[in-house]
C-alpha cells in the first residue's frame, strides 16, 4: 500500500493494529482518530513526518 485514504479506514472501524512504516508519509489524515480501537500504530521510516494530528 503506497497511500491510505479515509474511505479505506472507514471499512476497518475495529482495527487494533496498523502498520504504515516506510511509506514516505508526510502527514496523517485526521480520520485516523476515528479508529477508536487502534492500540498499535507503526509509523517508523516516515522521516518527513513532523507532527501528528490532534485527533490521534
Over the stretch 4-27, which tens digit does the pLDDT of each residue have?
A: 666 777 778 889 999 999 988 888
Mean pLDDT rounded to a whole number for the chain: 85
Distance of CA 45 to the CA centre of its chain: 13
Sign of the dihedral defined by the CA atoms of residues 26, 15, 42, 22, in that order: negative
Q: What pTM was estimated for this model as a whole? A: 0.75
Instruction: Judge whether 35 and 56 are in contact, CB under 8 Å.
Output: no
- The C-alpha cell at 6 is 479515509
* Cell numbers 479506514: residue: 9
Q: Is 7 helix (H, G, I), strand (E, B) or coil?
A: helix
Amino acid at each position: 500500500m503506497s497511500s491510505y485514504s479515509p474511505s479505506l479506514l472507514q471499512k476497518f472501524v475495529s482495527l487494533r493494529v496498523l502498520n504504515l512504516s516506510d511509506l514516505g508519509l508526510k502527514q496523517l489524515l485526521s480520520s485516523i482518530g476515528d479508529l477508536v480501537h487502534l492500540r498499535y500504530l507503526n509509523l517508523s521510516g516516515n522521516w518527513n513526518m513532523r507532527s501528528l494530528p490532534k485527533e490521534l
